[in-house]
Structure 1
Amino acid sequence: MTHPYGLRTEHRAEPLGLDAAYPRLSWKLRADRRAAAQGAYRLTVAAHPSDLDDPRRLLWDTGRRTGEDLEATWDGPALQSATRYHWRVEIWDERGEGPASAQSWFETGLLHRGDWSAVWIGRDPARLPQVDPPTDDDEPSRPPLQLRREFDLDSVPVRGRLYATARGVYEPRLNGGRVGDLELSPGWTEYHHRIQYQTYDVTDLLRGGRNVLGAVVADGWWSGYVGFDARRPAQHYGDHPSFLAQLVVDFADGSRQVIATDAGWVERPGEIRAADLLMGEYVDARHAVPGWDAPTGSNTGFAPVIVDDTEPGPLVAEPDQPIRVTREIRPVANHHRTSGRTIVDFGQNLVGRIRLTVRAAAAGQAIVVRHAEVLDNGELYLDNLRRADATDVYVAAGGGTEVFEPRFTVHGFRYVEINNLAGDPEVVARVLHNDTPFDGTFECSDSLVNQLQSNITWGQRGNFLAVPSDCPQRDERLGWLADAQIFAPTASRNADVSGFFARWLRDVVDGQDADGAFRDVAPVMALDREAAPAWGDAGVIIPWHLWRCYGDRVALERSFPSMVAWVDHIRRHNPDLRWRHRTGNSYGDWLQVDATTPRDVLSTAYFARSAEIVADAAEVLGHHDVATEYRGLRGAIRAAFIDSYVGDDGTVDGSTQTGYLLALAFDLLPANLVRAAVDHLAADIEKREMRLTTGFLGVALLCPVLADHGRADLAYALLHQEEFPSWGYSIRNGATTIWERWDGWTQHGGFQSPAMNSFNHYSLGSVGDWLYGRVAGIDQTSTSVGYRELLLRPLPGGRLSWARAQQETVRGTVACGWSTRNGRITVTVAVPPGSTAILEIPTSDPATVKEGGRPAADQPGVRTVQPSAAGVAVQLASGRYTFSAAYQGAESLNH
């Protein structure tokens, strides 16, 4: 049978609070036989699960629709606010057998302005407490808001929903307990255009009689320190936090009660005396207000709030996975330095916070926790944090057991120094990031390469927090566009980042100016200038990637006008089609080492690439005249590139690895010069004794281009390299995440400049896409969308004896792996129902190819077997297969 699974509504499983008027409902397939496919499907929707079995009570019924589509867009009656919809998908396979079914649900949020009665509330500025500690620039510390509102319910409700958000970051409370498990909500968006609200099911937390709704609200990205600006960002957003919430309570008799933020709320500071994402959190437990969020019947010590704003503003329901604590890491070592001072090593560079248990501390005992990624001569290396203090302080209430865990800050660290606490600290690290499902795996026979994959994955966890940031530890943490576009293919191998990127792309588009220029970062903060080449091009490249990888047509359609505007902006200011004007800060191949790629070579190459993508996107969206125009533009840019930068001998201006990689990857060379350019590239690598010179942009292309042009031997040599500069060099020197720069620390030079030296920065980890796509072999054809037509090309080489990868796609699970032993290669693959695959088996003797121990051509699901450049190409229907063939080693297959 063929079965549906992995049901999603707008990228998410069972989303609570959805504001899409026409949501997309999707599913994946699995089967227990080969050549399985979906032949038809039917979607039904009802108010209750039991109603799905009663045709008279259905709210939407697609009827049986023939086809292999695994997504349907709602075209039923208008969705109602705050309503749960249960849905079922039934599928019949290609033989008409079925149906097999699966169920899910989604719940709408508040869809209309009239649904909101809440207003923004905050602290009266005249009551701003002046408390220690002051910040470095002597601004007064600002305790977070601690808000409460008591209310009565006549009976126990049957349903309760809390809709809440903040200008700042918040934690909701109800009847003495925390609501939900979301962290740092509502996240960071282009607040002038969108503020996300969250929806919580609080039914089980409500009671008949007296109740209390509360919240703690800190500055966060709204009014705290963001980026490397020495000031709080009041000039961008606001100068103080505020809160907006609406609790909707339904009773069995059909009545409803709404408790919303208004002038009737009260507030007072609590034990958190200061909290900032960059600087840290200061908690004085002596100032705790016991029972402040419980129904005490008294507001003693609290003061009235003020109404900041009566207009809810540009509220949107949170569209992707929120930030959560996803795991705990325990220390691997404690290093006692002096009495009461211990450095704790968690063994992994991570992003999050610590939870510290304090026993029998004296009242007023101040425990100071500092964070660092690396050590310098056994002590915390803090210089690279720049203005970020990354320091948390806990002042004990005294006596008994106390637990300290900051709530409104986040740090990048492997090590913490705990001061003024005797003995071995009882501490764990709590890992935070947007809770995108990590459903891809890669592993191989080489422990160094496995560590590289681990470093890549941990870098993704740490930097996918609200935005795809550049670094999680210093005073920056901005959503740099180029970093995101070069890493997006790797990110989508490791995890389902469809919703995360689709949401962030709205900030990218909102940052575009009237002339069509994107910005270097999104949301726009600290750097309000035209984007550089490859940075601004992210606004074109990422929407196209979401289409190719996830089949996300909505994200492509939403971004398409801005994609066209960006390319037109470049063309307008560079009529000779060499991109030399209006290049922003023009970073070039950022942080390349021992080489300098000419900036106009790089920029013009990206100009051609973006024009090509616009043409392809226009074709997909049915804008055929636009496609023709931009395909012609791309051809003209290519001609200009060849005329200006390509020599008759296949050299590219600058003769750098990145220059050759761009020309080869973006098809900017005459066909008769491709081989010569590959040889120039290879010669540069060989003369450097198998070392790279590529920076952020070139490194993503390095191994793929070499492998695709017959030099997999060089790609593997670079992968295994352990001398500087290389991935292996950082790993050999203790890296557990990807470093920002190849020379972040070297044996010959020590630490690089602290002005810019992150030890957790995913950009140079973009090689991860190649590990999945060529080392293990999972790819798709150039015309495929959503892995409908797989291209499986396992590539043995280097010192590997086996490699395998698996990833979840929008169609189902795809896997590919290989191993070599005793003169034979074994290749295992999994193709989801409805997909097809071309599998290239690297063999020295095509006649020896077998599947399941029998001649491959005779096996079910194997459609054709024919010779290819790799050895044998096999066309496959869906299913799981195990092939074997003669194999004489990678060297015989490289050229």
Structure 2
Amino acid sequence: MTLLKVKALTCEYRINPLGIDIKRPRFSWKIESDRRGTMQKAYQIQVANQEDFNEVLWDTRITQSDESIHIEYSGPELNPRKRYFYRVKVWDNFDRETEWSETAWWETGLLNSDEWKAEWITPDPDGIDPLSEPAFLLRKEFTIKAGISSARIYGTGVGLYELYLNGDRVGNELLAPGWTSYHNRLQYQTYDVTGHLQDGPNAIGIMLADGWYKGNLVRENNRNIYGDRRAAFFQIYVTYNDGTEEVIVTDNTWRASTGPILFSEIYHGEKYDARLEKEDWSQSNYSDQDWTGTIIQEMPITQLVAQENYPTRVTEVLNPIDSFVTPAGDTVLDMGQNMVGRIRFKVNAPAGTRIVLKHAEVLDKDGNIYFGNLKFAKQQIEYITNGGNTETYAPHFTFQGFRYVKVEGYPGQENGLPLENFMGEVIHSDMERTGEFDCSDPLVNRLQQNIVWGQRGNFLDVPTDCPQRSERLGWTADAQVFIPTALFNYHGGPFFTKWLRDLKADQLPDGNVPFVIPNVEGGMGSAAWGDAATIIPWTVYQTYGDKRVLAEQFDSMKAWVEYIRRQGKNEYLWNTGFHFGDWLALDAKENSFVGATARDFIATVFYSHSTRILRDAAEVLGRSEEVQEYSFLLDKIIEKFNHEFVSPSGRLVSPTQTAHVIALMFDMVDGKAKERTAYELNQLLIQNDYHLNTGFVGTPYICLALSKGGYHETAVKLLMKDDFPSWLYQVKKGATTVWEHWDSIKQDGSFWSDQMNSFNHYAYGSIGNWMYKVVAGIDMDTVLPAYKKIKIEPKFAGISFTQAKAAYESMYGRILSSWNLTNETVEIEVEIPANTTAEILLPKAHLADVLEGNKPLVSGDIHSYMETAEGVRLTIGSGSYHFRYRNESGLKPRFTEDTPIIDFLDYSEAVAVLEKFAPSITKPPAIFSTKARSLKELAELQEANLTVDRVKAIMEEVSKLEWGAVLVN
């Protein structure tokens, strides 16, 4: 019995989305097959009003096509507030036909503004000061008849809201409605509340806090950026079994009060007095006679849009690993991980007991909790107990970035905190995890974990720069350099679609792009920052094959390039205006944040890069005139760049690592100049003992540029450095997320300046892209985006570990590339999803040596194969493959602490590893066995006094011996 089935149906990237405003949604699916080389040859989609499909609304019939992602609905116009059902079947290249898939659905939102009946409401200012700090409570009672078929709530609020119905919290979303360019776009949410309603009396409650809309952002005392009034805008649609409907809306019949939340801010935290709780306030039997009325409030909102991004939720719960008293006498919880979210705790204490939690990321070198980098953010939670039974609390409208929590006032804390009463709730946009990477080096694995944790902490509705200090803004450069890594680790289609719409909304009429999106910072126009307008939509398109996002953003992309084009006296160079340059590079002058690479050099390179992307996007979208125009512009920019910044002999005028990196990465030089640029980049790193000195512009691309330029082993050495400055230096210093500065914690344990020192700042985590794409080898043919044609080309020459594996859940299914090295063999495992093909490179392999599944290569499942100077190249179809071949010298695994001494290829490497793993050896060993003695064992003896000369002498003697021989010193 053969297996062929359609699975994982999605509509606009999501499984069964509730309340979307897209009038022509797109469908995608994956194919499961038990045969290699499976390709879809045809599909059929049916859409119906009812789950039984007795009345089909739209039927593609059998459509000859291998497309299985983003198939656009083109049936009759959709109705608002309506659930539609769809199913898919496919035919493959082996003449097999699937059964119908499981039925999936999507439900439309309101689709147009005419469907809104609600009014914006806020408490009557005669009863409650609209500028007061306590969160507002709004409530309304209403009566429902018997025979409910379905009920939905559609609504939003400014700043943040929580929704309650008959005493129960509605939904598990946090920080709704999220952060958008509020004056231009405000998201509303849809909730299925059919099960929450009851025949007869009902009550709805809304809690409102300041949030991003009117809270303190960017600078101290900088408030009310979007408006100075909180307000709610909701309506309940109740549908009865007989088809009739009833609508309950926000209007001036609602009642208002304040409650236990006395203060709640994004930066500063929350103060909650449980003695002020209004028990049963969202139930129908509650007396609200002493509450004040509400008024209709005019709001500066121009467009309501259905929820676009993944909601923010609690995605994981961490238990503290320890509590301790610091040298300063503070009682501190250690969560074991720098996380973003909140602490939930339980307490039993007399009424009025005041418990304060203060959150921080690290301890200082004396072991005291460090708050200096928070700037003016307080990150403080204060809870005042109600007394009586055990109370449980977590803050509502704020989040903190922290590993350590200073606890004050908890009953009995002088005898130690009860760890079981505290838990850390991790909060971020609830994206699907799509990528994984691991290898045989524990430090690199910890780096990968740090990258992922950094993304989780900073992908909280917008891609923020840091989650702890008084900033937490959507900096454009951070987002654009990290997006390839981000989209490997997590599915970011809806996340970036939403953020790009805000970028487009906040872009100035002249095409200029603000530094942060949503724009609350001001300033704009910097190279590598504003280029988020082109780089991010292009990367989303490449990763997911999403032409719609490219089409939506094309005018924005073009406006950015044209803005650059108008700068300065020469339209082919960008040599004017303000630029951040290579931000935080280590080659900066004293007391400067800006690296040594000439800013006009960087600006012109990114001008070229954005122009190239715009040209390519025009080609994808069939805009032939723009293809021609921007092809010409690109050629002229590169020509002028070479005239301005490259000498006749091929030398770059800016002699920095970053200049060489971006010139290579973005194809600014060619021929001999390209060879020289790659060679000189390598020399710059050798001269710096294989240490980087790059910043935000150069770091994301440095290893990619080295591998691309033919110096892959240098890229590997760069990754594997564990002294300052390096990625692994942070790891060895105890980092559990990626730092903002290479020396956020200096070698002596002191800190970089308090002014700007985040320990959770994902930009330098962009090394992940190179780890997945180059080391593990998962890449794509960009002509066929979304991994329709996969490239598997692992590079393990020079690698200091013996195994690496990466897997990625693409739009078509799971891709796997895993390799393992021994002294004798190379083994590579590959998984290719159905309806895709792949080109594989087996490095340094010979055709005669290669086995697949313990059999010699034969045509059939392997479409083609040939031996090249690089190794064996194969083209294959879908399926799982296991390749094995003889390990050639030069591809042997590098050395670990368990490596036998005789395995060393040269003395210098032996010395380096001995010094790394056995730095404290003081006496020579009496007996030295070439088979039994590993570096780890040698280090453990603690008996040797190994100078470099002594190691060379020992190695020379060892190399002459047979296995099992004994060397007596």
Bin of the TM-score, shorter chain as denominator length: over 0.9
- Residue in 2 that maps onto 1:367: 355
2:57 counterpart (56, 59, 65): 59
What is the CA–CA distance in structure 2 between the aligned matches of 1:83 and 1:744, rounded to whole Å?
53
Instruction: Report if the CA contact (8 A) 1:150-1:297 is conserved.
Output: no
Instruction: Report if the CA contact (8 A) 1:161-1:203 is conserved.
Output: yes
The letter for the 2-side match of 1:171 is E
Q: How many residues align?
A: 875
1:572 counterpart (555, 563, 566): 566
Q: Say whether residues 1:587 and 2:587 are aligned partners.
A: no
Instruction: Report if the CA contact (8 A) 1:2-1:833 is conserved.
Output: no
What is the CA–CA distance in structure 2 between the aligned matches of 1:114 and 1:306, rounded to whole Å?
22
- Residue in 1 that maps onto 2:953: none
- Residue in 2 that maps onto 1:144: 135
2:298 counterpart (268, 287, 309): 309
Q: Secondary structure at the match of 2:698?
A: helix
- Residue in 2 that maps onto 1:68: 66
Q: 1:764 to 1:770 in 2, by over 3 A?
A: same
Q: Secondary structure at the match of 2:100?
A: strand
- Residue in 2 that maps onto 1:197: 188
The letter for the 2-side match of 1:365 is T
- Residue in 1 that maps onto 2:228: 239
Superposed displacement of residue 599, structure 1: 0.7
Superposed displacement of residue 79, structure 1: 0.6
Q: Say whether residues 1:467 and 2:462 are aligned partners.
A: yes
- Of stretches 98-107 and 771-780 in structure 1, the one that deviates more from structure 2 is 98-107
Q: How many percent identity over aligned positions? A: 39
What is the CA–CA distance in structure 2 between the aligned matches of 1:340 and 1:430, rounded to whole Å?
26
1:402-429 per-residue CA deviation (whole Å, 9 max, x = no partner) reads: 1110010111001111101123141100
The letter for the 1-side match of 2:481 is I
Instruction: Report if the CA contact (8 A) 1:781-1:790 is conserved.
Output: yes
The letter for the 2-side match of 1:829 is V
- Residue in 2 that maps onto 1:807: 808
What is the CA–CA distance in structure 2 between the aligned matches of 1:390 and 1:294, rounded to whole Å?
33
- Which structure has the bigger radius of gyration? 2
What is the CA–CA distance in structure 2 between the aligned matches of 1:844 and 1:58, rounded to whole Å?
55
Q: Secondary structure at the match of 1:509?
A: helix
Superposed displacement of residue 432, structure 1: 0.6
1:572-613 per-residue CA deviation (whole Å, 9 max, x = no partner) reads: 2235245444533x1111111135111111111111111111
Instruction: Report if the CA contact (8 A) 1:462-1:472 is conserved.
Output: yes
Superposed displacement of residue 474, structure 1: 0.8
- Residue in 2 that maps onto 1:25: 27
Q: 1:178 to 1:85 in 2, by over 3 A?
A: same
1:327-386 per-residue CA deviation (whole Å, 9 max, x = no partner) reads: 100001101359995200001011100101011x12111101000011122222111111
Instruction: Report if the CA contact (8 A) 1:856-1:883 is conserved.
Output: no
The letter for the 1-side match of 2:235 is Q
1:810-842 per-residue CA deviation (whole Å, 9 max, x = no partner) reads: 121111110011321011111111211110111
Superposed displacement of residue 312, structure 1: 7.2
1:773-801 per-residue CA deviation (whole Å, 9 max, x = no partner) reads: 11111001242211111111111132110
1:230 counterpart (212, 220, 244): 220
- Residue in 2 that maps onto 1:137: none
- Residue in 2 that maps onto 1:133: none
Q: Say whether residues 1:161 and 2:163 are aligned partners.
A: no
Instruction: Report if the CA contact (8 A) 1:118-1:312 is conserved.
Output: no
Q: Secondary structure at the match of 1:600?
A: helix
Instruction: Report if the CA contact (8 A) 1:870-1:893 is conserved.
Output: no
Instruction: Report if the CA contact (8 A) 2:542-2:782 is conserved.
Output: no
The letter for the 2-side match of 1:65 is T
Q: Secondary structure at the match of 1:755?
A: helix
1:858-869 to structure 2, matched below 5 A, reads 858=859, 860-869=860-869
- Residue in 1 that maps onto 2:169: 178
Q: Secondary structure at the match of 1:233?
A: coil
Q: Secondary structure at the match of 2:203?
A: strand
Q: Say whether residues 1:254 and 2:256 are aligned partners.
A: no
What is the CA–CA distance in structure 1 between the aligned matches of 2:123 and 2:21, rounded to whole Å?
30
Superposed displacement of residue 400, structure 1: 1.8
- Residue in 1 that maps onto 2:615: 615
What is the CA–CA distance in structure 2 between the aligned matches of 1:889 and 1:387, rounded to whole Å?
57
- Residue in 1 that maps onto 2:853: 852
- Residue in 1 that maps onto 2:818: 817
- Residue in 1 that maps onto 2:307: 318
- Residue in 2 that maps onto 1:10: 12
1:264-319 per-residue CA deviation (whole Å, 9 max, x = no partner) reads: 10111111111111110000011111111111152132111111138974110002
Instruction: Report if the CA contact (8 A) 1:229-1:526 is conserved.
Output: no
- Residue in 1 that maps onto 2:39: 37
1:109-148 to structure 2, matched below 5 A, reads 109-128=109-128, 142-148=133-139
1:187 counterpart (168, 178, 192): 178
What is the CA–CA distance in structure 2 between the aligned matches of 1:4 and 1:575, rounded to whole Å?
57
- Residue in 2 that maps onto 1:493: 488
What is the CA–CA distance in structure 1 between the aligned matches of 2:147 and 2:369, rounded to whole Å?
53
The letter for the 1-side match of 2:171 is G
What is the CA–CA distance in structure 2 between the aligned matches of 1:118 and 1:823, rounded to whole Å?
73
Q: 1:731 to 1:141 in 2, by over 3 A?
A: farther
What is the CA–CA distance in structure 1 between the aligned matches of 2:820 and 2:560, rounded to whole Å?
46
Q: Say whether residues 1:542 and 2:539 are aligned partners.
A: no
- Of stretches 309-318 and 379-388 in structure 1, the one that deviates more from structure 2 is 309-318
Instruction: Report if the CA contact (8 A) 1:725-1:742 is conserved.
Output: yes
Q: Say whether residues 1:49 and 2:44 are aligned partners.
A: no
Superposed displacement of residue 29, structure 1: 2.1
Instruction: Report if the CA contact (8 A) 2:821-2:893 is conserved.
Output: no
Q: 1:451 to 1:66 in 2, by over 3 A?
A: same
What is the CA–CA distance in structure 1 between the aligned matches of 2:96 and 2:515, rounded to whole Å?
53
1:742-798 per-residue CA deviation (whole Å, 9 max, x = no partner) reads: 111112471111111100010000011111111111001242211111111111132
Superposed displacement of residue 68, structure 1: 0.5
1:423-446 per-residue CA deviation (whole Å, 9 max, x = no partner) reads: 314110001111110121111111
What is the CA–CA distance in structure 2 between the aligned matches of 1:357 and 1:448, rounded to whole Å?
36
1:254-293 to structure 2, matched below 5 A, reads 254-293=243-282
What is the CA–CA distance in structure 2 between the aligned matches of 1:667 and 1:89, rounded to whole Å?
43
The normalised TM-score by structure 2 is 0.88
What is the CA–CA distance in structure 2 between the aligned matches of 1:608 and 1:711, rounded to whole Å?
24
What is the CA–CA distance in structure 2 between the aligned matches of 1:111 and 1:129, rounded to whole Å?
35
What is the CA–CA distance in structure 2 between the aligned matches of 1:769 and 1:339, rounded to whole Å?
42
What is the CA–CA distance in structure 1 between the aligned matches of 2:757 and 2:823, rounded to whole Å?
46
- Of stretches 648-657 and 557-566 in structure 1, the one that deviates more from structure 2 is 648-657
- Residue in 2 that maps onto 1:883: 883
Instruction: Report if the CA contact (8 A) 2:374-2:468 is conserved.
Output: yes
What is the CA–CA distance in structure 2 between the aligned matches of 1:831 and 1:256, rounded to whole Å?
50
What is the CA–CA distance in structure 1 between the aligned matches of 2:285 and 2:327, rounded to whole Å?
45
- Residue in 2 that maps onto 1:211: 202
What is the CA–CA distance in structure 2 between the aligned matches of 1:73 and 1:318, rounded to whole Å?
20
Superposed displacement of residue 240, structure 1: 2.4
Q: 1:889 to 1:485 in 2, by over 3 A?
A: farther
1:479-878 to structure 2, matched below 5 A, reads 479-527=474-522, 529-577=523-571, 579-584=573-578, 586-594=579-587, 596-748=596-748, 750-796=750-796, 797-858=798-859, 860-878=860-878
1:457 counterpart (436, 443, 452): 452
Instruction: Report if the CA contact (8 A) 1:533-1:583 is conserved.
Output: no
The letter for the 2-side match of 1:208 is D
Superposed displacement of residue 649, structure 1: 4.0
The letter for the 2-side match of 1:680 is E
Superposed displacement of residue 893, structure 1: 12
What is the CA–CA distance in structure 2 between the aligned matches of 1:126 and 1:196, rounded to whole Å?
30
Q: Secondary structure at the match of 1:268?
A: strand
What is the CA–CA distance in structure 2 between the aligned matches of 1:810 and 1:755, rounded to whole Å?
42
RMSD of aligned alpha carbons: 1.8
- Residue in 2 that maps onto 1:408: 397
Q: Secondary structure at the match of 1:301?
A: coil
Q: Secondary structure at the match of 1:837?
A: strand
